[in-house]
Structure 1
């Protein structure tokens, strides 16, 4: 491989001649061969947007030559259009605060700008990674700014998918509204419920999760860019931070704002912790819902089998014809990963010391991964599972009509203790509650028709009593 020689404060080293990255990226590759994982590309895009905005602002303020500013901006536009993706190669587990990642971006933009200015890669007299691309910046304000931006932009992709999930649950709630079934508490028979009511409750849960995520997204819009190395703004023009954020608002149509206190924005990663926490809450609720659906589809002959999910893949390498709730299982696993990621983020967030938290790379990776995998998993869960769920109305009704919990409606007529005796006899003799009530003449046929109608027991009211509120 043909190489070029670059030099930094530690000495000189070879860099592949065709590489847009430079010496500091090479050092990072040598120092951190840990996992092969790289930052989410949205993090690269956010960082590149900051670099482009900084170049334009510094030129506007007369601090950067216009031709260098234009070249950096043009290089940034190429990256934002999807080019040079293979040049951002720094490992997730790298030096603290993300300095290697920041320099990887600086070097790629500088070397592409050099070409646009008529030079050759590595000739930093044309455009320098530190002096020009990183002008008025520090990793310490660029990385947390880009981390928040990337998460906020990824949330904008996740929220519509959650809205779709809420909507498909609402549609299933309407489709299943007339299907009577037995509720279950403690995994034991409970009073009747409608299958549509269960699905409607899932929709409400997803709606509440959306509200929490939207609130967390707003907290990410406060940016500490301009804080420079310690949050004091050293080496930045007084107008720099406000002008830079204005560019970002224009490009993204997101209401970014300058942090009221740049020191706080550098010291604290509270918005990152909040963002990760709401994803954890979403994962907990999705796990619960998936567990419900897997129970409801269990069978087909020895389980609940009240619903059936679409068959998307053979479920066994040995048992012919076996079909599993594969999409719900997949989403469960994604949720477990998100919950684990949140713990990593929490540990990293609390690890800040004085003016800086150096654990930002690992919190950025885990937060962005959580949003990405949830977005993708929920989308296929909608398309390949929830949309195609069908109900076995007859099986649901048999469970409801045979449930011992129907005796609950007898409490106000014969008392709890007598109703319990009815249940015991029904179980002992394998009869229904209604059969025992008839045998023992506890109610007249008219009363049975008014009191022990399962469908009437799925709404608020007193069994057998006319609703007098109307």
Structure 2
């Protein structure tokens, strides 16, 4: 054991751990979610600490021997080492101070080890004086949040772009299949299955644009703002250098926020980004519902689509297969909506120069990004890519439908069309049979009028023929 102290007193720490006294206090105080920081967030703290140490060496404030050891320790964290030493709970009081000090202590003790010194010898390298030099939790925490968001957003954008490509490919392969369109869950007029999937592709394309537009705001950080945005204890040159180093370490164009006080006080951009995720989740919830309904059956539902069978659907009903992947999309969407509400409440509850609720924002935002990315990949590769159309079933429902009578309006008029629709519903006869039997149109004319092309993309050629 080693003995460490802060201004509240002394605590014994196990020799083998890299965290210290303030992290240990946080472990005692915050047993909340049972979840620790995720790897991308830990890496983001490593990036911030490495950038700060490099910037402080450039200004001459940080001795190079100490600074290089801190950078090496931070780079090890960026490479995935020592993540088990980040032990604090994701939800905590103090605006993320425990997270920041966890990073400071781990990096300080690893840097001491690199220099051949014992852990806890903070006279040489201090978590506060050196690793946290020219910093505050109030600029470290939001900057790490933004870097982590950028990292996770890249994965989400990639998943969405792949999903868009799959929907487009399905649209191409299904575009010749005419089926009944539905409004109010009632038969409407025909549409091609391809047109429906092209529409899903467009909704996904908008989601890509939405996420890309909102992630741009995450590139503006408040490093150098320190406690309240005034930059106390941070040299102007440091503020310039630290964003340059962040850019190098992330490969992104990280910039200093226009107003550091504003960037320290206000978290509306976090709410805006979360809202983009919520809207994306809403769009996919609707798409998953459509696919689930079109695949209902197999004998007594719509049965227009066949989903790939992924697992037995019942512990009591043999042979039953459920739409488990679309159901998962729905549930993730509900969780993302709930996360967005929590973030909205947290953003609203900032006071004066700081919003202390950033830990719960980070927890919910990163959860939304992770599960949304995962479920879109799952939806794509375990469902949509392998789903098949039941062409005969689609054709059968078109033939039985009364909705196709709408296509006859320009040719036989509303009144005659209404009579045909009423008789078809009463007798069970098809619209096609009734129109031919009443000699309102010929079979050849109906073949053109009720063709997929003419029903879904009316053209001039068919209308000229009918004249």
Indicate conservation of the 8 Å contact 2:308/2:387, yes or no. Answer: yes
In structure 2, the residue matched to 1:336 is 334
Structure 1 stretches of at least 4 aligned residues deviating more than 6 Å after TM superposition: none
Indicate conservation of the 8 Å contact 2:230/2:261, yes or no. Answer: yes
Compute the displacement of 1:467 (Å). 9.7
In structure 2, the residue matched to 1:224 is 222
Aligned residue for 1:367, secondary structure, equals helix
In structure 1, the residue matched to 2:10 is 12
Aligned residue for 1:82, secondary structure, equals coil
Greater CA drift, 287-296 or 413-422:
413-422
Compute the displacement of 1:238 (Å). 1.1
Aligned residue for 2:12, secondary structure, equals strand
Indicate conservation of the 8 Å contact 1:224/1:266, yes or no. Answer: yes
* Structure 1 counterpart of 2:209, from 204, 208, 211: 211
* Structure 2 counterpart of 1:459, from 438, 442, 457: 457
Tell me how far apart the structure 1 counterparts of residues 162 and 445 of structure 2 sit (CA, whole Å): 45
Q: How does 1:211-360 map to 2 (within 5 A)?
A: 211-360=209-358
* Structure 2 counterpart of 1:114, from 96, 112, 115: 112
Compute the displacement of 1:300 (Å). 0.4
In structure 1, the residue matched to 2:83 is 85
Compute the displacement of 1:462 (Å). 7.3
Compute the displacement of 1:165 (Å). 0.2
* Structure 1 counterpart of 2:386, from 360, 385, 388: 388
Indicate conservation of the 8 Å contact 2:192/2:452, yes or no. Answer: no
Compute the displacement of 1:39 (Å). 2.3
Compute the displacement of 1:413 (Å). 2.9
The two structures have a TM-score, normalised by structure 2, of: 0.97
Q: How does 1:57-136 map to 2 (within 5 A)?
A: 57-136=55-134
Tell me how far apart the structure 2 counterparts of residues 417 and 226 of structure 1 sit (CA, whole Å): 75
Q: Deviations over 1:276-295 (max 9, x none)?
A: 01000000000000000000
Tell me how far apart the structure 2 counterparts of residues 452 and 389 of structure 1 sit (CA, whole Å): 27
Aligned residue for 1:13, secondary structure, equals strand
Aligned residues: 466
Greater CA drift, 283-292 or 412-421:
412-421
Tell me how far apart the structure 2 counterparts of residues 284 and 462 of structure 1 sit (CA, whole Å): 38
Root-mean-square deviation (CA, aligned residues, Å) is 1.5
Greater CA drift, 127-136 or 146-155:
146-155
Tell me how far apart the structure 2 counterparts of residues 167 and 223 of structure 1 sit (CA, whole Å): 34
Indicate conservation of the 8 Å contact 1:180/1:195, yes or no. Answer: yes
Tell me how far apart the structure 2 counterparts of residues 393 and 330 of structure 1 sit (CA, whole Å): 27
Q: Deviations over 1:369-405 (max 9, x none)?
A: 1111111111122111111011111111111222111
Aligned residue for 2:95, secondary structure, equals helix
The two structures have a TM-score, normalised by structure 1, of: 0.96
Pairing 1:400–2:360 present = no
In structure 2, the residue matched to 1:412 is 410
Tell me how far apart the structure 2 counterparts of residues 467 and 364 of structure 1 sit (CA, whole Å): 63
Pairing 1:158–2:156 present = yes
CA gap of 1:449–1:331, structure 2 versus 1, over 3 A, is: closer
Greater CA drift, 92-101 or 211-220:
92-101
In structure 1, the residue matched to 2:146 is 148
Compute the displacement of 1:243 (Å). 0.7
Aligned residue for 2:350, secondary structure, equals coil
Tell me how far apart the structure 2 counterparts of residues 159 and 170 of structure 1 sit (CA, whole Å): 16
